[in-house]
Amino acid sequence: MNAETLEYKGHTINIVYDEFAENPFTNWDGEGKIIFHPRADYVCNKELSYDEAKQTKFSVPLSAYIHSGISLSVLGEGYRCQWDTSDYIAYWVPDQENAPVKTKQQAIKHARQACELFNQWVNGEVYGYNIPSLDESCFGFFGDMKYCIDEAKSIIDYHVKEYQKGLKEVHALTA
């Protein structure tokens, strides 16, 4: 489904929602893991139990505001509502092998970033582009659609530059 269509230097760019975006917490290294309470249906990791996650050094408790969408945050931060906010719904656990954490402050910073990434993924804020005239596409842009648009434009700029370079070479051969 198209999120936006725009024209740039004579080419159409289709920005689409990435409906098959990878779960960054099961498919990527270094993001840490989000371990949900057993009664929550969000599966990000099955390597640790909720109770094990609570006991892990530098784990950070998370809250979830669930109302027409989901917003995870570090406990005590983010949206608060007496009926729609669940505290301790999950724990963020660091990936000590690929992105070691040495202090609680560092863990909280990484947990905030993980919450932002999770929120983008679970709420469908992941995009891709398609440039039909160049047969170019790329997906997996998390967050602001602007990054996806900028990348698509840079691909067009590259093709325009290469085309112009080719014209100069042809012109030099025929001159």
Number of helical (H) and strand (E) elements in the chain, helices listed first? 4, 8
Using only C-alpha atoms, the chain has a radius of gyration, in whole angstroms, of 22
Q: Which tokens sit at 48?
A: 């640790």
SS3 at position 112: helix
Q: Residue 102 and residue 94: Cα distance in Å, rounded?
A: 10
**pLDDT digits over 152-171, tens only?**
999 999 999 988 877 666 66
Longest dimension (CA), the chain: 77
Domain chopping of the chain, boundaries: 2-20+126-174, 24-121
Q: Which tokens sit at 153?
A: 């434009």
Paired strand residues for 36? 90
Tokens 């004579």 sit at which residue?
10
Percentage of the chain modeled with pLDDT above 70 = 90
CB 13 within 8 A of CB 131: yes
In what helix (H) or strand (E) does residue 21 lie, and over which residues does it extend?
A: none
**pLDDT digits over 22-78, tens only?**
888 887 877 888 888 877 666 566 677 878 888 888 999 998 888 877 889 998 887
CA 32 from centre of chain: 14
